[in-house]
Structure 1
């Protein structure tokens, strides 16, 4: 069965002056047109190839040998190339741009800027479309994730409370401003952690673990870093937050707590200029 909006394994059933007719194995009734301009060189009847299947403006199935930047069910960062009253167009790596209709836009789209886009198949129009209004498509309640679980996030919106994120391309989550500890950009990809699963199933996300496991891991990372640099580091509790984040991907507050714990354990000494590893 041919999956629209996905890459399919197809076979060349016929060749025409303008291109090729493709079918799926065991499905001779459904045909897809592959234009000559998109076909690999030396393609001939009987060959098989992987091709991305979508629809043209009339709803007919067409194929591209190129793999697009996004397929249905996926959420990716794409660049807008044009905007009209009825919708905006995004570069997704194919000759034909991806349409994001006006009703599926979180906010007006500006050409040249990057946005977080979800691709879906619209039954009403029989077309593969995109959306920047992501809450239509993301699950707002988790099914099995637990606090402390490492996740991948994409920032897609900023609110008064914090940053809305796509979690593992499936769920909606929120990073509160006090858990972000640095400005985040729309479209930024982050390694994060589940901080809390609320009673209603919604996800609170943090950029770092704040439990005992997270603190212990950070302490171990600091010791490893000191050992790798001859037992000496100029990254102190007085350093700038961005310098600390660049080295350890944690907030300044978390770094200071870890240094304090290591100092109490007599594993390091700290002064205004440096942190030194205690040698036995």
Structure 2
């Protein structure tokens, strides 16, 4: 059995009863770990496995919970500052004990009510889970070698800058959304999927809300729709099996672009694909 990980979900074995709940087997490193009564399922028996999250409670005791935090160690999250003390700010991350954001891990002092993008990690000195809003320490300057133009990625927006919205890509590198792609997005804290538009030499990614080439396909689809509307029968006698020459003559498009435009219009329910061609619905 692998040692349990603080700040992560772990599958642990119910080893014995306890007046405050049940004890889980934490192995040689942690021994018995308490799962308080309020989190104990009714149907569990000794020897059963249960999935729990491990963290230190308000008295710095290792404890298990079946509650789900908003993020785990090693992840970025968008959290609200709900308190501030001499030790730092405290964030709501969905568990009874709030998450500490030390002042030393803040590039600028936060206030109660602020929402921040932070990285959650296990502090090796104290053994506690803490947060940091000094994101550059945790985001790589290098783009993963497997990323390619056109790849779909997950992002978390961080801030709006002069050149667009800066975002964390796949939890490990920086990217930017620019122009109209950035216009209607939240400056920070928004999660969404987008596409790699360009891999830059400076270690950043240019991102797009649409796949590369989408604007060209959309333009071709509009052109094809207009061509259909201008015909008396609302019909064009070409389809994906037609020769490139026939398609070029009828639409002015290459066969590849024509097929992409047809696919888009068909999915949108704007055309029918018939035996001898395509027509408006």
TM-score by length of 2: 0.69
Aligned mates of 1:63, 1:9 — CA distance in 2: 11
Residue 66 of structure 1 and its aligned partner are, at CA, apart by 1.4
Number of the residue aligned with 1:160: 162
- In the TM superposition, what whole-angstrom CA distance separates every residue of 1:181-227 from its partner, at most 9, and x where no partner exists? 44533112232222222224322223334x5x223443477589x79
- Matched residue, 1:82: 83
- Partner of 1:174, secondary structure, is strand
C-alpha distance after superposition, 1:71-107 (max 9, x if no partner): 1112222233222343222222211112221222244
- 2:30 partner SS: strand
Distance 1:3 1:113, change over 3 A: same
- CA apart distance, 1:117: 2.6
Structure-2 separation of matches of 1:4 and 1:223: 57
Following the alignment from structure 2 to structure 1, what is the Cα–Cα distance between the partners of residues 220 and 133?
Answer: 40
* 1:61 match: 62
Cross-structure match for 1:253:
none
Paired residues for 1:254-265 under 5 Å: none
Describe the SS at the equivalent of 1:218: helix
CA distance in 1, matches of 2:86, 2:178: 34
The match for 2:113 is 112
**CA shift in 2, pair 1:7/1:222, >3 Å:** farther
Once residues 64 and 160 of structure 1 are traced to their aligned partners in structure 2, the CA distance between those partners, rounded to angstroms, is 43
Q: How does 1:67-146 map to 2 (within 5 A)?
A: 67-144=68-145, 145-146=147-148
Unaligned runs of 5+ in 2: 230-250, 254-260, 262-269, 272-277
Whole-angstrom distance in 2 between the partners of 1:279 and 1:44: 65
* Distance in 2 (alpha carbons) for counterparts of 1:16 and 1:133: 41
SS in 1 for 2:187: coil
1:234-245 matches, cutoff 5 A: none
Instruction: Give the match's secondary structure for 1:111.
Output: coil
Counting matched residue pairs gives 234
Deviations 1:119-146 (CA, angstroms, capped at 9, x unpaired): 1111011011122222111122111212
- Distance in 1 between the 2:193 and 2:216 partners? 18
> What TM-score does the superposition give when structure 1 sets the normalisation length?
0.70
**Structure 1 gap ranges (5+):** 232-262, 268-275
Stretch of structure 1 that moved more, 169-178 or 48-57: 169-178
The 1-side partners of 2:23 and 2:11 are apart by 13
Q: Does 1:207 align with 2:217?
A: no
Determine the C-alpha separation between the residues in 1 that align with 2:86 and 2:198. 40
Deviations 1:232-263 (A, max 9, x none): xxxxxxxxxxxxxxxxxxxxxxxxxxxxxxx9
Matched, 1:14 2:16: yes
